Structure 1
């Protein structure tokens, strides 16, 4: 029985929809090139399949192995579930290598790619081998999600999409966003890849956070484009993605202007009388304008910086009611979290 027939019989409409959703994009994800396995003895029996879809029709594993691993390689004519040649070699490496190494010590991008492809082919042993390891390497105290390159983040995310595991996907996305919004981090990630990947997989929060990071990094250029009313995309971004970035700049400019005019409002604490509260508001307002008078579109980082500075302000601690001061800081935190939460809205996604 051909692999295509097996997949068609196995896949429900839901699985096909998830598979299409998870494999829409291959952009921005540099691949890997595993070494050829020593032999392919009994690999078909272990995998549960005897042939693969290659060059638009089913071919025996041994023949596909020859075309992918042996010289000359046949990368140009690859038709392997819309995968690249390197991704296909990765799957064959997992099928043909016996015994398999400990998955926890396998390159995370390879794990994600193997998990995604074995989902399509229904190779249960390799699914468990890859996904069990992905769950282990993404849990604390592992630092994989805090240090791995962007291709690994994308492959792990695609695996979570293929197997429809929202908690795992949220965990990967949260780490990805955190590394996008910390450009000074030694493990910061480039925003362009995340913008393209987020758009192709409909992950709006990831796309918005990446658009924000891209906007802040190229702020002078973005500001000039907005002023000139020009859309000048730089690859890999296209005109539509660049338009979203410009929309975010305009929207966050309004937020920044509002914050320059006045700090986020906070309620009067019960411990603070109405007669004394005007002192709290006056000293808080003066301190706020001193640190936020030049607030720009980098609202998320500027709010965090302002809060850190105001925390160290001795005059605030001396004059303001303690409960009022904490309420004011809570209002700053809420303003920052609300801005982050509504980034897709700001970038018109």
Structure 2
């Protein structure tokens, strides 16, 4: 074989030289996999009058059912009727859209499971719907229902689905399994958060945020939480996710392939800002709301004792306590724990607490308030500039 000829070209030239006919050139066959539509086993209703195609599934339902709740199907069908009345019937060859399997109404951007969930809500009996409010609820079905009812503006159905979904995720017993949707019986936490944000359902969003925080406390999905919180502008989750990532350390940031350069800059900014706050805390004594019984000279001694006690607690990070330098929340929570321990003792409290007999509870409230203040403002420390 010639070194610069391919095998096909070499064989062709060989046959030409020998005078024999060349073998037929194989044809390139392209097989396009186009799914054939199939009828839904439940919602292809024989006496229905409207056929819809969602993905590769045909649904046949009653047009009057789809126009409930003043949804967008109502205006869609009204427009369709106007177009039919103004069209030239002689030009119609396959019949009006939606009247046969050959010419169904095609719904774009929906899944068959979502549309099936909508029809379940529209056609089910009350006792069937009531299951959604019990521990036997199907979270994935409710999720699909909430998404599609929001899209097509079934307002009362959307509100009901979101309420049922919120109940499922706030119920103390039998919480839905939504760990990345492994079992297929619940949406992923990312999907749930996006839905709650899209529908502006505050209670569901809070339930999702609490689940994120539990994951973050376990050191899981930190960069994912950062990206979702930034994309959906979820301030509480954003501050917590950045804070947890901050405490992981620079080696983890650099090895995490999901953090952008801007996010690393925000982490550096947070390290600097929280470090400075750590140094300022001893001199930033929270205001103490004194007991009505604390007055006169007692009030003066109480203020002095509280100031000294606060500074003493804020110095704990310099005396062998294993806290990272920017872990301001950890420092404050440790101080809160120390106060609770002193107050829970049956014996008289020694030291500075003796000088504030009526305001011990107020000192604990002030400390807890400072913890909450820092927790709610964590996002402010992670900005683009250092």
Question: Which TM class, normalised by the smaller chain length?
Answer: 0.5 to 0.7
Cα 1:199–1:284 change in 2 (3 A) is closer
Aligned pairs (5 A) from 1:1-349: 39-42=41-44, 50-52=52-54, 61=58, 81=109, 88=111, 90-91=113-114, 94=117, 102-103=131-132, 104=134, 105-122=136-153, 127=158, 130-142=161-173, 144=175, 148-149=178-179, 152-169=188-205, 171-176=206-211, 178-180=213-215, 182-183=217-218, 190-216=221-247, 218-219=248-249, 221=251, 232=254, 234-259=256-281, 261-262=282-283, 264-267=285-288, 269=290, 270-271=294-295, 272-275=298-301, 277-290=303-316, 293=319, 296-313=325-342, 314-316=349-351, 319-348=354-383
| Unpaired runs of at least 5, structure 1 | 1-35, 64-78, 226-231
Retained in 2: the 8 A contact 1:109–1:153?
no
In the TM superposition, what whole-angstrom CA distance separates every residue of 1:42-78 from its partner, at most 9, and x where no partner exists? 26998987134x5xxxx76369xxxxxxxxxxxxxxx
| Unpaired runs of at least 5, structure 2 | 1-37, 61-106, 181-186, 343-348
CA distance in 2, matches of 1:48, 1:250: 63
Structure of larger gyration radius:
2
Higher relative contact order by CA 8 Å / sep ≥ 6: 1 or 2?
Answer: 1
Across the two proteins, how many residue pairs are aligned to each other?
273
SS of residue in 2 equivalent to 1:322: coil
Provide the TM-score with structure 1 as the length reference: 0.61
Residue 347 (structure 1) shift: 1.4
Cα 1:119–1:49 change in 2 (3 A) is farther
Retained in 2: the 8 A contact 1:47–1:123?
no
Provide the TM-score with structure 2 as the length reference: 0.56
Q: Which residue of 2 aligns with 1:7?
A: none
Which structure features the higher share of helix residues? 1
Retained in 1: the 8 A contact 2:287–2:366?
yes
Retained in 1: the 8 A contact 2:39–2:59?
no
RMSD: 4.2
Retained in 2: the 8 A contact 1:47–1:95?
no
Residue 125 (structure 1) shift: 8.7
Residue 141 (structure 1) shift: 4.1
In the TM superposition, what whole-angstrom CA distance separates every residue of 1:9-29 from its partner, at most 9, and x where no partner exists? xxxxxxxxxxxxxxxxxxxxx
Residue 128 (structure 1) shift: 6.2
Q: Which residue of 1 aligns with 2:33?
A: none
Retained in 1: the 8 A contact 2:317–2:331?
no
